[in-house]
Copies of this chain bind each other. A is one copy, B any other.
Amino acid sequence: MSSPAFVFPVRIYYEDTDAGGVVYHANFLRFMERARTEWLRELGYELTALEQEFGFLFAVRSVDIDYLSPAHLNDLLKIEVSIARQGKASLDIDHKVHRDETLVCRARIKLAGIAADSFRPMALPFTLD
């Protein structure tokens, strides 16, 4: 009964791959951040505006990621974004990465709202639902 996830496409270029012939494991975190940023943009929240208007930043608190199938040069991946849990000053996001029907990897990423000047916890200046 969950709402359909936001999906952002990412094409794989040489910069994303390594000498094993696959996408380097750390780079999936970059793709997931691109997808989160575009998801927030579609909801009306630009990261730069949140910082300028509210002095608000997201910080990554933890990442739990499972790599299930390798991705390769020229693959067109689909990065899903869905809310796992929203707290007052935190936001847990679930990501799934698919190439066609294959689940490439999945992750839960916990974000904290922080004040840009002090890096102390700060309530999210918006609600998502």
Give A contacts to B, CB under 8 Å. Answer: 11, 13-15, 17-22, 24-27, 29-30, 33-34, 37-38, 46-48, 57, 59-67, 70, 72-74, 119
Contacts and interface: CB of A to CB of B under 8 A. Distances in A.
Given A14-B18, A15-B33, A47-B73, A64 B67 contact: no
B57 A30 contact: no
B57 A66 contact: no
How many chain copies does the complex carry? 4
Nearest to A23: B19
16 contacts: A14-B33, A15-B24, A15-B30, A19-B73, A20-B57, A21-B21, A25-B63, A26-B26, A26-B30, A26-B33, A46-B74, A48-B73, A62-B66, A63-B64, A64-B64, A64-B65
Contacts of A62: 64-67
Contact of A74 (B14, B25, B48, B67): B48
A30 to B, nearest CB: 4
A61 B67 contact: yes
A63 B65 contact: yes
